[in-house]
Amino acid sequence: MTSLPASSVAPAALPKANDPCWCGSGRKYKRCHKKSEGRVLPGEVTPMRSVPPQINRPPYADTGEFVPYDEPRIKSPETIAKMRASGALAAEVLAKAGELVAPGVTTESIDLQIHEWFIERNAYPSTINYHGYPKASCTSVNEVICHGIPDSRPLQDGDICNIDVTGYHQGVHGDTNATFFVGDVDPESQQLVRVTEEATWKGIEAVKPGRPLSDIGRAIEDHVKPYRYGVVRAFVGHGIGEQFHTDIQVLHYYDSRASTIMRPGMTFTIEPMITLGTVNYKLWNDDWTAVTADGKRTAQFEHTVLVTDDGVDVLTGGPGAASPTAPWNR
C-alpha cells in the first residue's frame, strides 16, 4: 500500500476546495483528500512479525504460497476435537482484542497484542504470510468491508471496528470476527452492527443436516431486507479445517445454485458483511483492503460452525466469546 506518514493527519481547519491539499501532495484539496473527507485513510504498516520456530505452522507460513489440496469435507472425530480447541482459542483472543478497542488506540497496537496472545497459546496467527498478508489479524474500520491491514491510524470516537482473527493450533484453523464500537457511536451505526450480528445468528440457525447451503444465505438476506441493507456478494464464507480455506463456499445471500447439502461433520464459516448502502466495493492499493464504493459503513460477524446430526455447533461461540450466542437468547 501507499502509506501516509504517521504525521500526515488532517488539520483542525480544512483548506478551501482550490487551496493546496493539507497532505503536501501539491494537488488542490478538492482533487486530493476532499473526496475522502470523513473516510478511513491508510496509515503506516509495519513489517511482518516473525513467529518463533517452535510454533507449529501451516505450509504457506514460510513461502506465502497457499497450495490447496483435496481435504475431506466430513471431518473425523479427531479433527473435530482439534477444531473445538482451535475455535475456543480464537474466540478467546478475539474477546481480549475487543477489550482494547477505544478512541486513540491504533489497530497496529491491537494487532501486536493479538500476535503475542496467539504465540503465548502455542498457536500460529493464520493470516501471517497467507498469500503474503503481513499481520496477525484483519482490522476493518467503518467503510472497510474486510481485509483491512492494521496500521498507525488511531481509532476515532464514533468509529466501528471489525477485528478478524484466525489461529492455527493442533494442525487446524479456528476463524472468528466481530464488530466493536469505538466510544460513542451514532444510532444508525449501532443498528447496523446489531442487525448484522442478528443476521449472522439467523444464518447459523439455518444450518441443518440434509439441507442446502442456500438456506443460510436466505435466512441472512431475509433478516436484513426490512432494513434495506445490502448483503456483500463478493466475499463469502468458506470451508475450514486443516486448510484455512477449503472448497465449501457459503453465500450470505440466497442463490439456488448454492445447492451443496450440509452433512454432519462439515465445518465452515458464516460471516456476512452487511452495508448501509451499495454492496459494490473498491480495493485499496495494498490489494487487500476492500471498501464500500459509496463510502458508507459496513459491519460483519463471523463464526466457525460444525454441522451435527441434529443441527449446528458453534466452535467459536459460547461463554466469553465476543458474540457468544444469538442476541435474543442472552
Q: What is the pLDDT of residue 226?
A: 98
The pLDDT of residue 22 is 58
Domain ranges of the chain: 49-329
The torsion angles phi and psi of 299, rounded to 5 degrees, stand at -135, 160
How many residues belong to the chain?
Answer: 330
Point out which residues pair with 270 in neighbouring strands.
303
Give the E-state strand segments of 31-171 in sequence order: 124-125, 137-141, 144-146, 160-169
Question: Can you tell me which residue has the cell 466430513?
Answer: 74
pLDDT computed for residue 33 by the predictor:
55
Contact status, residue 207 vs residue 250, Cβ threshold 8 Å = no
Of 207, 159, 170, give the one whose Cα is nearest residue 308: 207
CATH of domain 49-329: 3.90.230.10
Q: Are 275 and 229 in contact (CB under 8 A)?
A: yes
Say what the pLDDT of residue 27 is: 77
Q: What CA–CA distance (Å, rounded) separates 244 from 182? A: 29
Quote the DSSP letter at residue 26: S
Evaluated on CA atoms 99, 95, 247, 127, the torsion sign reads positive
pLDDT tens digits, the chain, 330 residues: what are they? 222 333 334 444 556 768 886 556 677 766 665 555 568 999 999 999 999 999 999 999 999 999 999 999 999 999 999 999 999 999 999 999 999 999 999 999 999 999 999 999 999 999 999 999 999 999 999 999 999 999 999 999 999 999 999 999 999 999 999 999 999 999 999 999 999 999 999 999 999 999 999 999 999 999 999 999 999 999 999 999 999 999 999 999 999 999 999 999 999 999 999 999 999 999 999 999 999 999 999 999 999 999 999 999 999 999 999 999 999 999
pTM reported for the whole predicted model: 0.90
- Rounded CA-CA distance 254/156 in Å is 35
C-alpha to C-alpha distance for 148 and 239, rounded to whole angstroms:
21
Give the pLDDT score at 214: 98
**pLDDT value of position 267:** 98
272: helix, coil or strand?
coil
Q: Judging by DSSP bridges, how do beta strands 124-125 and 160-169 pair with one another?
A: antiparallel
Q: Look at residue 39 in the predicted model and tell me its pLDDT.
A: 87
